[in-house]
Amino acid sequence: MFEAVLLTVITAATPLLIAAIGELVVERSGVLNLGVEGMMIMGAVVGFGAANLTGSGTVGALAAILAGMGMSAIFGLLVLYLATNQVATGLALTILGLGLSGLIGEAFIGVPGLKLPRLEIAGLSDIPFFGPVVFNQDALVYVGLGLVAIVSYVLFRTRAGLILRAVGDNHGSAHALGYSVLKVRFLAVLFGGGCAGLAGGYMSLAYTPQWVENMTAGRGWIALALVVFASWLPVRVVAGAYLFGAVTVLTFHAQAQGLGIPSQFLSSLPYLATIVVLVIISANRRLTLVNTPACLGKPFVPDR
């Protein structure tokens, strides 16, 4: 029983983890992209459609990444090169993604999905409990954890990561030193969009292999909250994603047990947990400010 619950938690946490680690990179560069939900839902519908048309889950995942990057490129061009308001543009991106995905996905409603296969590691996948949990997951579970390790290393152990953090903390000084603030931020936005698209693709290719309108169900907003929960540190994103994944799964199990609790209340628990965590974190001003990029959300217009 516990093994089955844990497997479900991992599946529920993976899209949150992938989307949040991408948004963390975006915010570390000083850009606030509230369009994660829109990029995720576009990744979900494009990934599902590509997989359905080609019969390949790999093609579906790649298409989901490209869909997210395409949406993020629109956002990047508007907020970086036209200096539009980041909050308003991000919200508009979410609305665009929700509407456009519904239009594209109309042809795929009720169509059987293509589920990503689980990877079996000979000898290890058969180990009781640890085998199925650790060594018998689909590829994107390992991709998500790999992204965390790579982002953590690049941010804090490489020159590229130092430049990215410098741009997010003081874009004026970074520009004065000769770094292209807009280029660094645009690349970060593309990376975040690709991760959000892949997270959406995971929803329609692994979590629930089918297309349902608005199937991301607010997970993009939870991913945004996870970045704050993690204090902009990649390793903490893992803990946050699995915590929120566990809350989501436990609500389903509580409904299945027939505990007499209104299903509407149980469905709202992941979002209530998000609010509670954000309130607790906000109460600790030192924790909030210690890793917050100083230029987060502030536009940069280079001298002409």
Contacts of 244 (CB under 8 A, 6+ apart): 13, 16, 222, 226, 270, 273, 274
Is the pLDDT confidence value at 48 over 70? yes
Across 149-177, average pLDDT = 95
- End-to-end Cα separation, the chain, in angstroms: 64
pTM above 0.95, yes or no: no
Whether 33 maps to a domain, the answer reads: yes
- Which residues neighbour 260 within 8 Å (Cβ) at sequence distance 6 or greater? none
Instruction: Provide the domain limits for residue 224.
Output: 10-118+133-290
Q: Check pLDDT > 70 for residue 1.
A: no
Residue 109 resides in a domain? yes
Q: Residue 123: inside a domain, yes or no?
A: no
For residue 2, tell me if it sits in a domain: no
User: In this structure, which amino acid lies at residue 20?
Assistant: A
**Cα gap 44→56, rounded to integer Å:** 15
Residue 300: inside a domain: no
Q: Does the residue 128 lie in any domain?
A: no
Q: How many domains does the chain have?
A: 1
* CATH code of the domain covering residue 37: 1.10.3470.10
Q: What was the pLDDT predicted at 114? A: 85
Over the chain, what is the mean pLDDT?
88
Residue 1, number of CB atoms within 10 A of its CB:
6
